Amino acid sequence: MGSVLSENIGYIVLIGVGLIMALSVTLMVKAETKWLGTRKTSEWFYTAGRTIKTGLIASSIVSAWTWAATLLQSSTVTYTFGLAGSFWYAAGASIQV
């Protein structure tokens, strides 16, 4: 059983899709600058124009912190110390917020 496409076709597709994506993002930024008049500075980039709401920030933090070890450890702490254990486990993580 041979390959469906050659290696060269794969590279062409990869580079082609990359160029299309780069061109589309460039055009969108140019259009936004022209029609909305936004200035593109490093501050604007790092803060997303200060348009991100609290809910998205909170969900981003939770998704970054939640992985298998966290879920297993929080269950273990709750099993060992009861409901208070889960509260104090979450309280320790929320200090960083």
Which tens digit of pLDDT belongs to each residue from 17-39?
999 999 999 998 888 888 888 77
Contact (CB, 8 A) for 93 and 67: no
Which tens digit of pLDDT belongs to each residue from 69-89?
888 888 899 999 999 988 888
d(CA 62, CA 49): 22
* Domains of the chain, residue spans: 1-50, 52-97
Residue in 93, 27, 23, 33 with CA at minimum distance from that of residue 58: 93
Q: Tell me the whole-structure pTM to 2 decimals.
A: 0.44
